Amino acid sequence: MQKKLIAVAIAAITAAPAFAQSNVTIYGRADYGYDTRSGSSGARNTNGTKAEFRDGVQGGSRLGFKGAEDLGNGTKAIFQAEFGIAMDAPAGAAGLPASAAFWTNRNSYVGLTGDWGTAVGGRLDGIRYNIYLAADQLVGGVGNFTSLTTQYDRADNAIAYISPNWSGFTLTLAHSTNTGGGAEGAVGTKNTSDGHAAGGNKGDDVLNSIMLKYANGPLTLWGDFETTKQQDIGNSTLKTWVAAGTYDFGVVKLGALYDSLQGDGCSNIGGATYGQTAGTLVCGAGYDKKAWLLSAKVPFAGKWNVKATYGHINDKKLSNGDANKFGLGLDYNLSKRTQIYTDYGRVSNKSAASYGITASPNSTAYYGVTGFDVGMAHNF
């Protein structure tokens, strides 16, 4: 079980010039390609092959609108509404990866920004998730390491504050009253669509996050600590902290990350608990996982990039539950906005581990342990 965590990426807006009235920018990404996943290792004994053309192979296709209005005295109102789209499937189609579901809400917010910092509220991108994507040079595709961490990329019902830049340092504080959202039902029952208890805030996952970032020229460092507490359900708490960094030497960009995830594992949410008496608490073995990765990206011949990532998962609660993953990628930039890419990934599980290759970094739908993809993306 992993919780949705928060951050917000708003540099493009806060750097925008002042406007006499609200100005709107339309942006997006179109990504389409082919991938194949197969093989077995450890407890993952899938010997068949999943091969398909699909949308969002290296990054989910999306359409977004963002803008700012100058309110005077150095303050602006800002907003963003971003939606995931699937170019090869109709609305309501089943089986789409989370990052490419047809017309789903992605990173969307409204807020204020000024010399004092930035404050926003909405459905916000995840701090931990974005740190992984920054440190892991493969980012998306079958080779990325991030997918082994089984995390989600956004938090519902969220607010965040981002400080001004203090000599390279910025501070982010974030809070969510319920990271998974979800509809309410009758008091004393559970909503069968997502398992949340409906008695007021009972069962809500409350998130608190604090991140310190340092960026100075080629060096970027992150330190992040987050807690998620499930209200009134055994007071189950999940804690995670991340330390990561990248350094761009010009001829090569290096990334490294260390992650710790710990929790008591008590929950009333999940398929096994549907239909149980309201308030029933189910406790599992809990969580104690450590992860690390090393990555590199080497540009050459002007338009090419070769990328590699190697990472390890150490499961302290499961004997022989560890896993490694190696990823290799190659990009060719047709222009500043258009790219052709290909990736390879291989997971090696110990006997009790069952990690595999997913359709996107935030998906839990593993298939096989070896993957290959090729595709094209255009950013606009």
Highest mean pLDDT among 40-44, 142-146, 201-205, 261-265: 142-146
Taking the C-alpha atoms of residue 376 and residue 29, their distance in angstroms, rounded to an integer, is 11
Segment 146-170, tens digit of pLDDT: 999 867 688 899 999 999 999 999 9
> What pLDDT was estimated at residue 152?
67
Say yes or no to pLDDT of 188 above 60: no
Taking the C-alpha atoms of residue 153 and residue 291, their distance in angstroms, rounded to an integer, is 18
User: Beta-carbon neighbour count of residue 53 at 10 Å?
Assistant: 11
Q: Which CATH superfamily is domain 11-379 in?
A: Porin (2.40.160.10)
43 pLDDT band, cuts 50/70/90, is: confident
Mean pLDDT over all residues of the chain?
83
Looking at residues 322-342, what average pLDDT do you find? 97
> What pLDDT was estimated at residue 238?
85
Residue of 48, 293, 243 whose CA lies nearest to 127? 243
Residue that wins the pLDDT comparison between 227 and 230 = 227
> What pLDDT was estimated at residue 58?
92
> What pLDDT was estimated at residue 323?
96
Looking at residues 202-227, what average pLDDT do you find? 93
pTM of the predicted protein model: 0.83
> What pLDDT was estimated at residue 222?
98
> What pLDDT was estimated at residue 96?
52
- Domain locations along the chain: 11-379
Element (H, E) at 11: helix 11-14
Element (H, E) at 152: none
> What pLDDT was estimated at residue 267?
45
Residue that wins the pLDDT comparison between 57 and 92 = 57
Segment 240-298, tens digit of pLDDT: 999 999 999 999 999 999 999 988 755 443 333 222 233 334 455 577 999 999 999 99
Alpha-carbon distances of 273 from 7, 191, 261, rounded to whole Å: 30, 11, 23
Least confident range from 177-181, 274-278, 365-369, 370-374: namely 274-278
CA torsion, ordered 297, 87, 11, 25, to nearest 10 deg: 140
Segment 99-135, tens digit of pLDDT: 445 567 889 999 999 999 999 999 999 999 999 999 9
DSSP E strands, the chain: 23-38, 49-55, 62-72, 75-84, 104-105, 108-114, 117-125, 154-162, 169-176, 205-216, 219-230, 236-248, 253-263, 266-267, 282-283, 287-300, 304-315, 323-333, 338-349, 370-379
What residue type is assigned to position 76 of the chain?
K
Say yes or no to pLDDT of 184 above 70: no
Least confident range from 13-17, 238-242, 335-339: namely 13-17
Residue of 6, 54, 51 whose CA lies nearest to 31? 54
Two tokens, residue 350: 């110990």
Looking at residues 67-78, what average pLDDT do you find? 95
